[in-house]
Amino acid sequence: MKSTPCLLCKHTHFYLLKDGRLECTACNHRYSPTKRAQTLELLEAFLAQHSPQNTAHTLGISLPTVQKNFAHFRHLCAILCERAYESRAGAFCEYEEYLFLPASKQKNLYQMVEGIGIMGLSTGKHVYTLLMPDHLHTYDAQIRANPEFIHTLSNYYQWHKISKLTTSATPLSRFWVFLEEFLKGFYGVKREHFGAYLKEAEFRFNHDKATQKSLLAQAWREHEARRLRAKMITTQEPPLSQVWKI
């Protein structure tokens, strides 16, 4: 029978096994169509920005499974962003540093030291982001010794914007607004996970919905193929007792 191409060899003919799985007639790779369909449903939910809780309820899947898949899709977004940067490395014409603070902390000037610094680059159409070194907490001692120093620091950073090559509305200025709105949907992101969500926002900002789906689906297929090949190599390796003739 015919099916979607095999992840390993791209062959399209399969045997239907008794347990419902398909076996490639060329390389003998086996997979579950049900599980693959479930992964694609999870990808659709991720792209639609459905919450893990709602997705788990709708698809009848455990919440940890949904969270694990969403984290994996977020990781793939980061990989795709790095690939895009490498292909456009010489095309960036604008940069801007940005200080991110959750809306709940923006009213208190002294919360500024908890901000997250981001460097943004732009080609005029696409953006690329980098997390800056986490250094603002080093000003704590100075602020305790001289509370007025926070105003000096605030004036320097201008709250969010540090430096900019252009003054009109730019892709970067639109991205900062997009990032703020995007992160509101998660009701708080832990600092150690911020980079992953930043890259997801970058990926979504740079591509329309159809392109997002196409790129992520392809990235998932490539990652799954690499995982399967690595698994095959591992299972084919002889035990050490045979290698060393113990």
What is the rounded distance in angstroms from the CA atom of residue 109 to the CA atom of residue 160? 12
Q: Cα 103–181–154 angle (5° rounding)?
A: 40
What's the CA dihedral at 11, 234, 17, 8 to 10 degrees? -10
Average pLDDT score over residue span 34-43: 93
Q: Kindly state the percentage of the chain with pLDDT values over 90.
A: 42
Average pLDDT score over residue span 66-88: 96
| SS3 of residue 220 by DSSP | helix
Amino acid at 153: L
What is the rounded distance in angstroms from the CA atom of residue 80 to the CA atom of residue 56? 26
What is the rounded distance in angstroms from the CA atom of residue 62 to the CA atom of residue 199? 26
Q: Render pLDDT for 83-96 as a digit per residue (tens, 0 to 9).
A: 999 998 888 888 88
Average pLDDT, the chain: 83
Q: Render pLDDT for 3-32 as a digit per residue (tens, 0 to 9).
A: 788 888 888 898 999 888 888 888 888 888
Question: Which among 190, 233, 183, 231 has a CA at the least distance from the CA of 31?
Answer: 231
The residue with tokens 């689906």 is 217
Q: Is the pTM of this model over 0.75?
A: yes
Q: Is the pLDDT of residue 200 over 70?
A: yes
pLDDT of residue 162: 43
| SS3 of residue 138 by DSSP | helix
What is the DSSP annotation of 63-82?
A: HHHHHHHHHHHHHHHHHHHH
Q: Is the pLDDT of residue 210 over 90?
A: yes
The residue with tokens 């809780």 is 53
Cβ burial of 14 (10 Å; 0-12, 13-18, 19+) is: buried
What is the rounded distance in angstroms from the CA atom of residue 240 to the CA atom of residue 18? 35
Q: Are 94 and 172 in contact (CB under 8 A)?
A: yes
Q: Is the pLDDT of residue 36 over 60?
A: yes
